[in-house]
Amino acid sequence: MITPLEHLSRNGRLDKFFIDGRWLEPKGTAKGVVVNPATEEVVTHFALGNAEDVDAAVSAARRAFATWSRTKPEYRAGLLERLQALLEARSELFAQCLSLEMGAAIGYSRTAQVPLAVAHVKVAREVLEAFPFVKQRGHTAITHEPIGVCALITPWNWPLYQITAKVSPALAAGCTVALKPSELSPLNALLFAEAIEDAGFPSGVFNLINGDGPSVGSVLASHPDVDMISITGSTRAGIAVAQAAAPTVKRVAQELGGKSPNVVLPDADLDRAVSLGIAAAFRNLGQSCSAPTRMIVPCTRLSEIESLAKRAADEIVVGDPRSNATTHGAIANRAQFDRIQTMIGVGIAEGATLVAGGEGRPAGLNAGFYVKPTVFSDVRTDMRIAQEEIFGPVLCLIPYDTVDEAIAIANHTVYGLAAHVQGKNIDIVKDVASQIRCGQVHLNYPAWDPHAPFGGFKQSGNGREFGIEGMLEYLEVKSILGYF
């Protein structure tokens, strides 16, 4: 099979952007680098955009909006269906790409990174096909109309997944888009643009500009012809985008940081609660904003929970992302690797008990951004490791005496993205869930629901993605009196 790099190089994609239905040369000469996290080697270079490239993309989107916004929902749904089929047909190419550029284990790329991304396209189509764009209220029509040109900024940790989570509902709603993927994982976005092209979307409906935050992201955020900006990233980046967007009073949707709790109630099945809790916290190597990295546990059972957590962490196979035996590959980039190592050191210095893992690479791995799955116990809720988003496989065990104290600990954070609650008495589980201030709660590790809206309270952002609520973000509400 041809590799992603061979494919992109052969088709001349690495030094071009997809704007107005064509692959165009950038206006500037700046280049970015793609580093293989497993080897720390530069594997390719790619074009970085500037303000002129942003202007070209936004202008194309503005021109296309006049026609695209008035297309029939059935037409847009048909294009999304073709896009879904193309992504499925190219799933192995995408999986290999993600493994290369962000270090994800190939098995995880195949079973999570790619299929969950495809699910967002499917859900957007399903929502579109059933959505009532006009509702009657007495003699008044309440209509939902596309907001306009949308600038979409996506992160490096779930690259394709976040692209489809934003692009699909925006296009379904009738908006046109300009996408800036992370400059740390740009290759999958180029492959996605090819799928958009091959699916037959009209020129200018989707536009891709690679670039960094200052040169492209901030220009998109402040651009007067952009009607909405949606960003998934750090809280720091979200604040900067909101500030840049403020003078033009455009809509800003933010899915930002998290420090999600996992409340283990006294009656929980500990074997299940702890083992699946480790799996949830360390999926994608903990590089998920919603990762439940604060496990809040009954102090009377702390010793037992420590043993279970250590066993689960020690069973994780960290290694070469290309190997089918590997469960967890490399951290996606040097900056994040260094951040995780620093925070593990902070936990040790703060006096937390190291149950598993620790500083440095796992044994036998002397190069690459590999980290040890790490568990701390006896963590106080005021410690830095309990308050700051580490974005890596580092779990805090925080003991509590009463359920009310557990809820207070769960809410003792500036974030409010997601939470988990484990327990046998479902009425108590539901009651605890209702008291946690966050946008999504998982009870006893349910199956993922791509129709469930996702987004945050507090400094985890605003707005929602996925399902009906995800498409509503891209729609304006108009009332037309005397319509009926």
Query: Which residues are designated catalytic?
Result: 255, 289
Write the secondary structure of the chain as one string of H (helix), E (strand) and C (coil).
Answer: CCCHHHHHHHCCCCCCEEECCEEECCCCCCEEEEEECCCCEEEEEEECCCHHHHHHHHHHHHHHHHHHCCCCHHHHHHHHHHHHHHHHHCHHHHHHHHHHHHCCCHHHHHHHHHHHHHHHHHHHHHHHHHCCCEEEECCEEEEEEECCEEEEECCCCCHHHHHHHHHHHHHHHCCEEEEECCCCCCHHHHHHHHHHHHHCCCCCCEEECCCCHHHHHHHHHHCCCCCEEEEECCHHHHHHHHHHHHHHCCEEEEECCCCCEEEECCCCCHHHHHHHHHHHHHHHHHCCCCCCCEEEEEHHHHHHHHHHHHHHHHCCCECCCCCCCCCECCCCCHHHHHHHHHHHHHHHHCCCEEEECCCCCCCCCCCCCCCCCEEEECCCCCCHHHHCCCCCCEEEEEEECCHHHHHHHHHCCCEECEEEEECCCHHHHHHHHHHCCCCEEEECCCCCCCCCCECCEECCEECCECHHHHHHCCEEEEEECCCC
